[in-house]
Amino acid sequence: MAKAKLPDGSILEVADGATVADLAAQIGPGLARVALAAKINDQLVDLSTPLTGDVTVVILTSRDDIGLEITRHSCAHIMAEAICSIWPEAKLVYGPTVRDGFYYDIDLDTPIRPEDFKRIEQKMVEIIKADTPFERAEMSRDEALQKMAGDVYKFDNIQNAQGDVISFYKHGGDGFEDLCRGPHISRTGSIDYKGFKIMSVAGAYWHGDASQKMLQRVYGTCWQNKKELKGYLHRLEEAKKRDHRVIGKQMDLFSFHEEGPGFAFLHPKGMKVWNGIIDFWRDVHRRYGYEEIKTPIMLNESLWHKSGHWDNYKENMYFTTVDEITYAVKPMNCPGGLLVYNSRKHSYRELPMRMAELGLVHRYEPSGMMHGLVRVRQFTQDDAHIFCTPEQIQGEIVGVIDLLQEMYAAFGFEDYHVELSTQPEKHIGSDEVWETATNALKGAIEQKQMDYQINEGDGAFYGPKIDFHISDYLNRSWQLGTIQLDFSMPERFGLSYTAADNTEKTPVMIHRAILGSLERFMGILIEHYAGNFPIWLAPEQVRVLPISEKTNDYAGAVLGQLKDAGLIVSLDTSDDKVGAKIARAHADKVPYMLVVGPKEAEAGVVNVRMRQSTDTKTIALDDLISMIRQKIADKSLDLMI
C-alpha cells in the first residue's frame, strides 16, 4: 500500500502502483474530472504517475497557477502538432510558457501569417476534440541523443537538458511526439477549445543570438475557459488605452515625426509635466547637496577616444564635421563632467563632490528598437557624477538610494526591483578594487534593507552597478535608476585631489541617474497614472466652465484669480452646454472643473467637480485655492477636497 498525504493533512491509502489519477478518483469524481497534474513530494508529475511508499500529494487543477501553466504548456504542444500538420517541413525548436500564455519557436521557411492563425486554431480544436491522451516515454540521455540525431534543435535541447532521464510526450491520432520534461495534462480534451487563441507571430533568433538563424515564434494564450480568455482580451484592450503613446496623443502632450525618428517633440502640455518633474528634481538635489552643471552636447572626437567611447560605443554615436574638425554628439555626460572637474585643482576637503546634470544625449538605436517615449534616440538623463574617496563610497551610495527612494515615493512608485551587477569577464582594474567596490554597493543595499537580485558578471567593464527597475502597465520592465562605480574614467582623465598628507590621489567616480531618461520616465508616468496626473504634475490643473455666455464675465474673473494664485488654468467659453464642457474636461483629464452660473456669480462661489467623480461641491474660491495649493505643496495623489 502507498500512503498519500494530502494538503488538508489527511492520509489516504492507495494500492501500490495506483496512479495519481486513481487517487484523485478515490478522493472524488469531481476532482478526478478537473485534475490536470500533480505534485508528488513537491515534484511536478503527470496524473499517470504511479504512487509508491509514503508521499505527499497535491493534485493540481486549472484553478492553480501551476495547473494553468501546465495547461498552457500542453496547449503549446497541441499548437506545435497543428503547425506540423499544416507544414510538415516545420522543425520544432522550443516551446515554453510565458506570462498569460506560451510560444513555440519554429524553423520553417514559409512565413506563418496572421491569416494562417484561423486554420491553425481550427486544427487545434480538432486535436482537442479528439481527446487523445498525452503519453510519457522515458529514456536515457544517450538513447535520446541517438533518437534525435537528425534534429539539430532537439539534439541541442537534449544536450542542455538537466537530469539523466529524458522524456518525450506523445499525443494525437498521428502519434505527434515532442521532447519535453513535462508534466502535461492527461488528455488533450482537458483544454477548453474556446479558451485559447493564437495571438501573434514574430521573429526570434535561435538562442537569442543575432548570428544564429531567425526562427518564427508563434505566441498563443490559453485560459481555463472562454470567459477567462475574454477577460484577458478585455484587459489587453484596456492596457492599450493606457498606452502612453495613445494618451500622449489624446492629451496633446507630445508627438513624433518622420523628420526625426526617435526624437520626441514635447508640446506645451507635455512641457508642463516635464517642468513639474524637473522643478521637483532640482529641489531634491539641492537638499541632498548636489550642484548642477551643464556641458555641451557635442565635443571634439578626440575626447571620445580618450574616454574609451570610440572603442566601445562608436556604433551608437552621431558624428558631425565642421571646418574639418569632427565632433561627436554626446551619448553620455561623463566626459564633459570630467572636464569640469579638471578645470581646477581639488582638495580632499571638497569631497565628496556631487555634480548633477540634466544632460541631453543622443544614442543611435536600431530602428526596430524604438518605442514611443520609452525607447528613443535622443533623451535627457538626470545624471550626476560623484567624486569621492574610497572610504566615502558606501555612504555616498546610501545617500543616492535615500534620494532615489524619496523621489520614487513622490510619484507613487512602490513596486521596483533592484539588481546588482558584478565583475564581467572583460573588465579593467584589479580584483581587489572590484571586490571593495562590489562590497560597498552590497553594503549600501543591505544597510537600506532592500531585496536585490545579483546579476553575476553583468557589470560595466569599468565597474559594478546597481540598477532599479519598474514595470509599466503592459508589463514591460524598464530600468530607471542606476548607480555605477567607475575606476576607468578618473585614471584616463588624470583626475586628482590633494590628500591631507599633501599627496595627489585619484578620486573614485560614481555615475548615477535616478529617473534614468526623463522622456522614458514621462512615458512610464503617463501609463502609471493613465494620464490622470496628480495635481502637482497635471498639465492643466483647473478648468472654468461657465453655464452660458451670460456667466462668461464672472468666469473670467475666477480665471484671473486662479492664475494669480499660480495655478495652470483655462476657461471653456465654447458655445456648448455645460454637460458637453464637462465631458470634454473629463476627456482631457483635468483634475478640477469649476462650473459657474448665475447662482455662483451671485454668491461669489464656484461649484467644483473633481476628475473621476460625479460629486460636486460649492465652495468659496479663496478656500478652494488654498486647498489646491496645499495639495500641490504636499504632492498629494488625492484630489478630494
What part of residues 29-88 is at the interface with RNA (CB under 7 A)?
Answer: none
Catalytic status, residue 54: no
HSE-up of residue 40 (Cα within 13 Å, Cβ side): 21
Identify which range of 74-82, 107-115, 266-274, 562-570 contacts RNA by CB under 7 A: 107-115
Whole-number minimum distance, CB 297 to RNA, in Å? Answer: 15
b/e map 506-534, b = 16+ CB within 10 Å: bbbbbbbbbbbbbbbbbbbbbbbbbbbbb
Does 579 interact with RNA (rule: CB under 7 A)? yes
* Sites for RNA among residues 179-218 (CB under 7 A): 200-205, 208-210, 214, 216-217
Q: Name the residue type at position 293.
A: I
Q: Is 486 part of the annotated catalytic residue set?
A: no
- Among residues 325, 454, 587, 640, which is the contact residue for RNA, using CB under 7 A? 587
* Rounded Cα gap, residues 641 and 637, in angstroms: 12
Q: Considering the complex, what minimum distance in angstroms separates the CB of residue 38 from RNA?
A: 31
Query: For this structure, is 234 an active site residue?
Result: no
Q: Which of 197, 244, 272, 385 is catalytic?
A: 385
Nearer to RNA, 181 or 617 (CB): 617
CA distance 181 to 496: 58
Catalytic residue among 197, 245, 511, 543: 511
- Interface positions, 608-637, toward RNA (CB under 7 A): 609, 612, 614, 616
* Interatomic CA distance for residues 582 and 330, integer angstroms: 46
**Rounded distance, CA 450 to CA 68, Å?**
32
- Identify the active-site residue in 72, 180, 243, 381: 381
CA distance 406 to 395: 17
Altogether, the residues listed in the chain come to a count of: 641
Compute the distance between CA of residue 485 and CA of residue 394 in angstroms, rounded to an integer.
11
Exactly one of 1, 599, 620, 626 binds RNA (CB under 7 A); which one? 599
Binding window for RNA (CB under 7 A); candidates: 150-158, 390-398, 486-494, 571-579: 571-579
Residue 301 in the binding site for RNA (CB under 7 A): no
CA distance 292 to 439: 29
48 secondary structure, DSSP code: T
Tell me: does residue 118 bind RNA (CB under 7 A).
no
Identity at 392, one-letter amino acid code? Q
Contacts of RNA in 502-541 (CB under 7 A): 513, 516-517, 519-520
Query: Residue 224 class from Cβ within 10 Å (0-12 exposed, 13-18 middle, 19+ buried)?
Result: middle
The interface region with RNA, picked from 19-27, 340-348, 374-382, 447-455 by CB under 7 A, is: 374-382
**Whole-angstrom distance, CA of residue 374 vs CA of residue 137:** 47
Contact region with RNA (CB under 7 A), list: 51-59, 75-83, 412-420, 545-553: 545-553
Binding track, positions 218-247, relative to RNA; x by CB under 7 A: -------------------------x-x--
Helices (H) and strands (E) in the chain — how many of each?
Answer: 20, 33
Task: Please tell me whether residue 151 binds RNA under the rule CB under 7 A.
Answer: no
Are 220 and 101 a contacting pair, CB within 8 Å?
yes
User: Pick from 53, 175, 231, 261: which binds RNA (CB under 7 A)?
Assistant: 261
262 binds RNA (CB under 7 A): yes
- Using CB under 7 A as the binding rule, whether residue 584 contacts RNA is answered as yes
381: annotated active-site residue: yes
End-to-end CA distance of the chain: 69
User: Would you count residue 479 as binding RNA (CB under 7 A)?
Assistant: yes
Which residues belong to the active site? 334, 363, 381, 383, 385, 465, 511
